[in-house]
Structure 1
Amino acid sequence: MIRLSEIKLPLDPPADALPRAVQGLLGVEPDAVAHIHVHKRSFDARKVDLLQVYIVDVTLVDAGLEPVLLAKLAGNPRVTPSPDMVYRLPARAPAGLPLRPVVVGFGPCGIFCALLLAQMGFKPIVLERGKTVRQRTRDTWGLWRKSVLDPESNVQFGEGGAGTFSDGKLYSQIKDPRFLGRKVMEEFVKAGAPPEILYVAHPHIGTFKLVKVVETMRAEIVALGGEVRFEQRVTDVEIEDGQVRGLTVLDQQTGTTSELRADHVVMALGHSSRDTFAML
């Protein structure tokens, strides 16, 4: 594919404006273009007339024409080869893994850590001190409307993490030359987020949509052999000879404590688990 940048169009362009701009920039006939994929759309508001600015990836009917055009337009910085944005799993779980990895916390970091581990076949165990996102939503509304606080199920604690109630904004200023963020966005879309988050400049999902998205991602983790345990608070970490060997876990429903053997633990705590930070 060929990537074209800085394609500027008015706010309300004709339906064929983008294809015509692509054809003009490449110098090809309309029937030479097989598909135009919008990689990013932003807005230029620096002048009186606002503009839409596109970055697109173009597939030609004749793939053999792509290197010819790239060579011909080599001096144009707006025309480059499309980068490889396909995410490849870094490992696969070995057969007969003695102990499953454990992820502590089920906010954004914990969700994606568990999801990737599950996709690699590791069948992770997730320990989340809060409640499911549906119950947590009820508890949070109880705080906002009735001033009733559940210390373990609120804006900070529970499935989905703090961002679940902050409108689900998904952008940052971090450079992403390996396109790892693309994997994140694709997983959100696969779980039911709006497809436009893949290309808008400042994507967000929205709190009410996020609830279902989070549930769907949890369902995929479970379908792949993972397990998510709620209202389970880690109170201690067992370390032998500098190696993690297990966790002490408090079941907050029953008040009982148990030991969970583990050689690999991811602490995806967020920023509000001060008691866990103090324990560590």
Structure 2
Amino acid sequence: MIRLSNIQLPLDHNEAALENAILSTLNIAAEQLVRFNIFRRGYDARKKTRIMLIYTLDVETSCNEVLLSQFADHQQVKETPDLEYHPVAQAPVTLTQRPIVIGFGPCGLLAALVLAQMGYKPIVLERGKEVRERTKDTFGFWRKKILNTESNVQFGEGGAGTFSDGKLYSQVKDPKQYSRKVLNEFVAAGAPDEILYVSKPHIGTFKLVAMVEKMRAQILELGGEIRFSSRVEDLHIENGQITGVTLANGEQLHSRHIAIAIGHSARDTFEMLHNKGVYIEAKPFSVGFRIEHEQSTIDKARFGPNAGNEILGAADYKLVHHCKNGRSVYSFCMCPGGTVVAATSEENRVVTNGMSQYSRNERNANSAIVVGIDPSDYPGGPLAGIEFQRKLESLAYELGGSNYDAPAQTVGAFLRNETPKKLGSVTPSFKPGIKLTNLADALPDFCIEAIREAIPAFNKKIRGFALDDALLTGVETRTSAPINIKRDPDTLESINIKGLYPAGEGAGYAGGIMSAAIDGIKIAEAMALSINKTTIG
């Protein structure tokens, strides 16, 4: 097929416009066009009164070869690349030891699925519960303030991405088109077909729950094994080679190929890995607050008179500001039409995150507004960042009233450094609840200084961003893991423990559902190739 890129049409174009654009671009007659499909659809909203849809199309004609030769030097016309996923290996019939995947979030899920599809029958160990039980526990915490430290926003089937906006796009380089494999698996599991072509696909929590269950079922059908409530408490290492694990119940499992896909909040497991001698480095991450506006404010600022258009949906934004004090402040995990949620996994701590459903039709938009920090801000050993996070989360718990309510402040009061007496027009969405206070006490001074400078700067890009009634809720500390479990760039194994594969967000190699899932595929391939080399070679 032929791929046509950068086909621009008005937001209100009719059905015939796409076909006419193809005929015009390729200079062919209607009878020469066999069929076409949309590969990607985005939009250009820089001119709010004239928003354009931008298409990438895959086209089949009766004269493909002639056209590809004719347009050989035309950047807009190319041959459609092969996006079919091709497995790198197949499990040998003499396979005697199954690979183990620790963690069943997006990274572990795709690692296990691809291993199962290649015939390796992986064993998955997940410390939390299956997704529906986990959802009950999470909603129970939000409604009744009863925290299950092993089943919550962070731990359980589906990982932290289950309770999020469900974004399925990433900025990671993807020359092998692993992202297409991920999207195809999600669609096969029940995701809407549109995630294959919209420029910023998302799913939302409720759809993710059902999808995760279907993907789990496929792993089981292919001979995989999934064990919930199975926390790994120890690694077996002999002469620099991983040989197995011990679970919290005392059971031992043996394998020389183990993936660590534990997510960014498995702090006790980070400590265990460090104590076992796995090489870990501290790395930069970010901390800040969640900011809420009415979604209509963001829609009007981004889309002008086209706000509310069904194709455009709820508007998002992506913002960054470089401050005078040398810090950078940026928006993170923006959730259109969503809610701010309680995301702690440890008792007596408050952590915020954002979540949306597929419809994105809640009243508020929310996003993290965070400040970048690095190990020089929390000197100490490789795990010093964990203690830095814990200190901020414990302080937020106290500022919120020591009952899992979150400390909050209107933006106007924050900029004026005063405690607000009442809420404005923006109704807080955080559950369990909020307590109005002065957030200047919630973060280090350099963070507060940077955010106070950034919000008015963001207002120049998103009118209404610095609205007095907008709401800040603290604290956001789990933007990414504060550690990096170093791995060999070629084998993807730990640099000092053979057969141990650090993976995904928890190891410092991903930042979101898509990048974590892509890393899971890479890890599955690396494990498969190593198993075959060991077994057959």
Please say whether Structure 1 and Structure 2 have the same fold, judged by a TM-score greater than 0.5: yes
- Superposed CA deviations along residues 44-85 of structure 1, whole A, max 9, x for unmatched, are 11223111100011112x3xx212111212232111111111
Secondary structure of the structure 2 residue equivalent to 1:40: strand
Percent identity between the two aligned chains: 56
Alpha-carbon distance in 1 for matches of 2:160, 2:228 = 16
Residue in 1 that maps onto 2:144: 146
Shift of 1:167: 2.2
Residue in 1 that maps onto 2:102: 104
Secondary structure of the structure 2 residue equivalent to 1:189: helix
Q: Which stretch of structure 1 is more off in the superposition, 26-35 or 232-241? A: 26-35
Alpha-carbon distance in 2 for matches of 1:77, 1:259 = 57
Shift of 1:176: 2.0
- Superposed CA deviations along residues 205-246 of structure 1, whole A, max 9, x for unmatched, are 111100000000000000110010000010011011211111
Instruction: Give the structure-2-normalised TM-score.
Output: 0.50
Residue in 1 that maps onto 2:256: 263
Residue in 2 that maps onto 1:122: 120
Residue in 1 that maps onto 2:220: 222
Q: Which stretch of structure 1 is more off in the superposition, 126-135 or 29-38? A: 29-38
Residue in 2 that maps onto 1:274: 267
Alpha-carbon distance in 2 for matches of 1:246, 1:180 = 29
Residue in 1 that maps onto 2:50: 49
Letter in 1 for 2:182: V
What pairs with 1:1-280 in structure 2 (closer than 5 Å)? Answer: 1-47=1-47, 48-60=49-61, 62=62, 65-250=63-248, 256-280=249-273
Q: Which stretch of structure 1 is more off in the superposition, 184-193 or 79-88? A: 79-88
Structure 2 unaligned blocks of 5 or more:
274-537
Secondary structure of the structure 2 residue equivalent to 1:22: helix
Letter in 2 for 1:29: A
Secondary structure of the structure 1 residue equivalent to 2:259: strand
Alpha-carbon distance in 2 for matches of 1:83, 1:235 = 45
Alpha-carbon distance in 1 for matches of 2:55, 2:90 = 37
- Superposed CA deviations along residues 104-138 of structure 1, whole A, max 9, x for unmatched, are 00000000000000000000000000000000000
- Size of the aligned set, in residue pairs, is 272
Alpha-carbon distance in 1 for matches of 2:173, 2:122 = 29
Letter in 2 for 1:26: L
Alpha-carbon distance in 2 for matches of 1:24, 1:34 = 15
Secondary structure of the structure 2 residue equivalent to 1:3: strand
Alpha-carbon distance in 1 for matches of 2:155, 2:239 = 32
Secondary structure of the structure 1 residue equivalent to 2:96: coil
Alpha-carbon distance in 1 for matches of 2:73, 2:185 = 36
Alpha-carbon distance in 2 for matches of 1:225, 1:163 = 26
Letter in 1 for 2:231: R
Query: Cα RMSD over matched residues?
Result: 0.9
Shift of 1:204: 0.3
Secondary structure of the structure 1 residue equivalent to 2:60: strand
Alpha-carbon distance in 2 for matches of 1:132, 1:74 = 52
Alpha-carbon distance in 1 for matches of 2:270, 2:173 = 29
Letter in 2 for 1:129: R
Secondary structure of the structure 2 residue equivalent to 1:218: helix
Residue in 2 that maps onto 1:253: none
Alpha-carbon distance in 1 for matches of 2:211, 2:172 = 24
- Superposed CA deviations along residues 2-25 of structure 1, whole A, max 9, x for unmatched, are 110111111121211101111111
Alpha-carbon distance in 2 for matches of 1:230, 1:75 = 55
Letter in 1 for 2:54: V
Alpha-carbon distance in 1 for matches of 2:99, 2:181 = 22
Q: Which stretch of structure 1 is more off in the superposition, 208-217 or 6-15? A: 6-15
Q: Which stretch of structure 1 is more off in the superposition, 14-23 or 117-126? A: 14-23
Alpha-carbon distance in 2 for matches of 1:71, 1:101 = 48
Letter in 2 for 1:276: T
Alpha-carbon distance in 1 for matches of 2:131, 2:156 = 7
Instruction: Give the structure-1-normalised TM-score.
Output: 0.95
Letter in 2 for 1:127: L
Secondary structure of the structure 1 residue equivalent to 2:231: strand
Alpha-carbon distance in 2 for matches of 1:43, 1:259 = 53
Secondary structure of the structure 2 residue equivalent to 1:69: helix
Q: Which stretch of structure 1 is more off in the superposition, 194-203 or 78-87? A: 78-87
Structure 1 unaligned blocks of 5 or more:
251-255
Alpha-carbon distance in 2 for matches of 1:19, 1:156 = 46
